[in-house]
Structure 1
Amino acid sequence: MHGKILLRAVCAQRMKNVRMASAEAASTASTSERVAMPRLRGEDFRHPLDQQNTSLLQSLPGLNLIAKQTLGPLSEQVLYLENISTSVLVGPEQLNRLHLLMLEAAEILDLDPPDLYIRQDPRPNAYTLAIDGKKPFVVVHTSLVDLLTEAELQAVIAHELGHLKCDHGIWLTLANLLAVSAIQVPGFGSFVAANIQDSLLRWLRAAELTCDRAALLVAQDSKVVVSALMKLAGGGSSISGELNVDAFLEQARSYDKAKSSSPLGWYLSNAQSSQLSHPLPVLRAREVDKWAETAQCKALLRSGRKLQRKD
Structure 2
Amino acid sequence: MSVSKTHLVGLKSHQFRHPLDRAATDALKQIPGIDLVVRSLLGAIGEQYFYLENIASGVRVSDRQLPHLHQLLLEAARVLDVEAPQLYVRQHPVPNAYTFAMRGRQPFIVVHTSLLDMLTPEEIQAVLAHELGHLKCEHGVYLTLANLITLVAGQLPNWGAIVAQSLQSQMLEWMRCAEFSCDRAALLATQNPRVVMSVLMKLAGGSPAIAPQLDLDAFLEQARAYDEIGNDALGETLKQLHTEQLSHPVPVLRAREIDRWAGTQRYQDLLNQSVSGYNGKANSEGGWRNW
TM-score w.r.t. the length of structure 2 is 0.89
Deviation at 1:76, TM superposition (A): 2.0
CA distance in 1, matches of 2:155, 2:227: 37
CA distance in 2, matches of 1:82, 1:135: 14
- From 258, 265, 269, the equivalent of 1:288 is 258
- Structure (1 or 2) with the larger CA radius of gyration: 1
User: Do 2:126 and 2:195's aligned partners in 1 also have CA atoms closer than 8 Å?
Assistant: yes
CA distance in 2, matches of 1:95, 1:296: 36
TM alignment of 1:32-47, pairs within 5 A? 32=4, 34-47=5-18
Structure number with higher relative contact order (C-alpha < 8 Å, ≥ 6 residues apart): 2
- Moved segments of 4+, more than 6 Å: none
Question: Partner residue of 1:18?
Answer: none
What code does the residue aligned with 2:240 have?
Answer: N
TM alignment of 1:255-294, pairs within 5 A? 255-258=226-229, 260-294=230-264
**1:104 pairs with 2:67:** no
CA distance in 2, matches of 1:254, 1:90: 40
- For residues 255-283 of structure 1, the C-alpha deviation after alignment (integer angstroms, 9 at most, x for no partner) is 0011x221111011011111111100000
What code does the residue aligned with 2:259 have?
Answer: D
User: Do 2:97 and 2:110's aligned partners in 1 also have CA atoms closer than 8 Å?
Assistant: yes
User: Do 1:47 and 1:206's aligned partners in 2 also have CA atoms closer than 8 Å?
Assistant: yes
- From 186, 189, 203, the equivalent of 1:218 is 189
**1:130 pairs with 2:130:** no
User: Do 1:229 and 1:285's aligned partners in 2 also have CA atoms closer than 8 Å?
Assistant: yes
CA distance in 1, matches of 2:207, 2:49: 33
- For residues 110-159 of structure 1, the C-alpha deviation after alignment (integer angstroms, 9 at most, x for no partner) is 00100000000010000000112101000000011111000000000000
Question: Partner residue of 2:204?
Answer: 233
User: Do 2:153 and 2:160's aligned partners in 1 also have CA atoms closer than 8 Å?
Assistant: no
Q: Return 5+ residue gaps in structure 1 as ranges.
A: 1-27, 306-311
Count the aligned residue pairs. 274
Taking every aligned residue pair, what percent have the same amino acid on both sides?
51
CA distance in 1, matches of 2:163, 2:146: 13
Q: Looking at secondary structure, tell me which structure has more helix per residue.
A: 1
CA distance in 2, matches of 1:144, 1:217: 21
CA distance in 1, matches of 2:152, 2:115: 19
Helix, strand or coil at the partner of 1:71: helix
User: Do 1:127 and 1:138's aligned partners in 2 also have CA atoms closer than 8 Å?
Assistant: yes
TM-score w.r.t. the length of structure 1 is 0.83
Pick closer, same or farther for the CA change 1:84–1:224 going to 2, 3 Å. same
Deviation at 1:170, TM superposition (A): 1.8
User: Do 2:201 and 2:251's aligned partners in 1 also have CA atoms closer than 8 Å?
Assistant: yes
CA RMSD of the aligned region, Å?
1.8
User: Do 1:252 and 1:282's aligned partners in 2 also have CA atoms closer than 8 Å?
Assistant: yes
CA distance in 2, matches of 1:210, 1:222: 14
**1:85 pairs with 2:65:** no
Deviation at 1:180, TM superposition (A): 5.8
CA distance in 2, matches of 1:84, 1:128: 15
Pick closer, same or farther for the CA change 1:131–1:140 going to 2, 3 Å. same
Question: Partner residue of 2:223?
Answer: 252
Question: Partner residue of 2:267?
Answer: 297
Pick closer, same or farther for the CA change 1:67–1:79 going to 2, 3 Å. same
User: Do 1:115 and 1:136's aligned partners in 2 also have CA atoms closer than 8 Å?
Assistant: yes
User: Do 1:66 and 1:192's aligned partners in 2 also have CA atoms closer than 8 Å?
Assistant: no
